[in-house]
Amino acid sequence: MNTQEILKFCMERGFLLDNEVLNMFNETSDIDSVKLIIERIKDSTQQRIITKNLFNQNKEKVFQIFSALPRENQQHLEGLKIKLGLSIEISQEFSKEKEIKKEIRIEAGGVKVLSPILNSTKKLEVGDFTKHFKNRVLEMKKILQDNPSLRNLVSINKLSGNRQNISIIGIVSSKNVTKNKNVILEVEDLTGKIKVLISQSNQKLIEKAEEICLDSVLGFTGFGNGEILFASDFVFPDSILPERKKSSNEEYALFLGDIHFGSKLFLEENFLKFINYLNGNVPNTPEVEKIKYIFLVGDIIAGVGTYPNQERDLKVKDIEEQFIGLSKLLSKIRKDIKIIISPGNHDGVRLMEPQPMLNERYAWSIYNLKNVILTGNPAYVNIGANDNFPGFDVLTYHGVSFHYYANTIPKLIVGGSLNSPNKIMNYLLQNRHLAPSHTSVQYYPSEEDYLMIKKIPDILVSGHTHKSAVSYYNNILVISSSSWESKTPYQEKMGNQPDFCKVPMFNLKTRAIKILDFEESSSVNSLEAKE
């Protein structure tokens, strides 16, 4: 590590390191992570001189910063954590807290959180990743083996040397296109692996094969032996609901996300207009009194150190103060409305998915709101259940994986799916997984795969792209939320066209969907959503 490079980096940002900390950083090979740590600790403490004592006084914040780094980077910096006196003490402290919360289930006001609360600090080993993928294959196999098109289903190690018509289920570990435009996959189950060839002569199947992503679990049919399977077709696990259920009670649920409180571009006047509407202060809005649920699907604050030089874009530069500011706004909403909040990548939780609930050390002001229910990301939440109705199962997922598939799957690339995020959501429902490719997100390899869509939801709602979209996929209502932050320079550079202050409103009795528009400065507008 170059000492002069570190000093220059700090001086350009108007702060200094003492010699002890400088020497520790100088012994570390990961300069990018070091810069990010320096910048985040400076932003969160607002100190101009960074000392070892400063790290010790802010252990929780430092732990959060380290935890947000990719696993590989954390390993490179383990020695630095020990030298700073952080590693063992903080891990033990956080483990105690997480053990207490592990079995919590929330049930209040017609809301049930169906997902467990996850926040493990277990040291990861190679075996954890192996178990994770083995269990994914087993669970997906349970879904796929009921597909009637998969006849003569066998395990890969049971294939003989003689050609036969068979079906297999496995995870796609590699995908290549030959000079002759054939597609060759390597597919594995728990017993072995085999090559699967999709011939270029079957143009329809070749086009379908463009939708295959790595690490997806699929069912293949064809003829072959123990060496190779010539595929005649393949099937996705897919998500299909037999019907669109309706409640006997007329209630409404609203869906929004990406508030980004603390950003200079936060549209506070528009958000206050939304709150004014919720509290019944807008004429000719009789439906308001029947609004009972609001989902906030991540990035509720701008965060600190989420990307380089973020402090230039922040009006509120402390993460705790951002939560306090947002809580003051949410506290203005009438108390009979339940607010269900899941985190996103800006909200100060680990970036590895599944993500835990908001960190109470920083978001205590949110925890203090009596009508707020917190979940992890992703999460299953049931709303509107009564003695005669099972309720609607809502699957919330912030959507960090979306960019990967928008830039990888040909039909999503051509379709400009970042501006039509419901297309990405449909694709993930087809795969029964929110991030099937292991490189699409940073993930925590728990024994159970919590990103897998085991239970088909009535509603899938996401954020992250800042685009508003409402559609149906196989009777599943798919909702993408807009943003409450003006267009950023980064979005301008990338050609993104975000939507602002659009709030889908779902009638649980009639299933009618309206888009409430709080972007204009005058009255509240509403649009009928088309399927």
pLDDT of the residue at 119: 65
pLDDT of the residue at 415: 75
Contact 256, 296 (CB under 8 A): yes
> Closest Cα to residue 306, out of 315, 314, 297?
314
> Closest Cα to residue 35, out of 59, 15, 56, 61?
15
Give the count of alpha carbons within 13 A of 369, CB side only: 26
Tokens found for residue 336? 């009979």
Contact 170, 186 (CB under 8 A): no
Structural domains for the chain: 3-97 (no CATH), 145-235 (2.40.50.140), 252-528 (3.60.21.50)
Residue with tokens 């199962």: 393
> Closest Cα to residue 386, out of 292, 508, 510, 249?
249
The dihedral region occupied by 508, where left means phi > 0, alpha psi between -120 and 50, and beta the remainder, is: alpha
pLDDT of the residue at 94: 40
Tokens found for residue 174? 């590699």
pLDDT of the residue at 95: 40
Per DSSP, the three-state class of 190 is coil
- Which parts of the chain register pLDDT below 50? 87-104, 522
Residue with tokens 């888009």: 515
The one-character DSSP state at 402 is H
> Closest Cα to residue 481, out of 213, 300, 219, 329?
300
In degrees, to the nearest 5, what angle opens at C-alpha 400 toward C-alphas 417 and 338? Answer: 105
Per DSSP, the three-state class of 97 is helix
pLDDT of the residue at 64: 64
Tokens found for residue 407? 């830039």
pLDDT in tens, 352-389: 999 999 999 999 999 999 999 999 999 999 999 998 99
Give the count of beta carbons closer than 10 Å to the beta carbon of residue 53: 11
pLDDT of the residue at 110: 85
pLDDT in tens, 86-136: 543 334 334 433 433 444 355 567 899 998 877 666 677 878 888 999 999
Rounded Cα–Cα distance for residues 178 and 447 (Å): 36
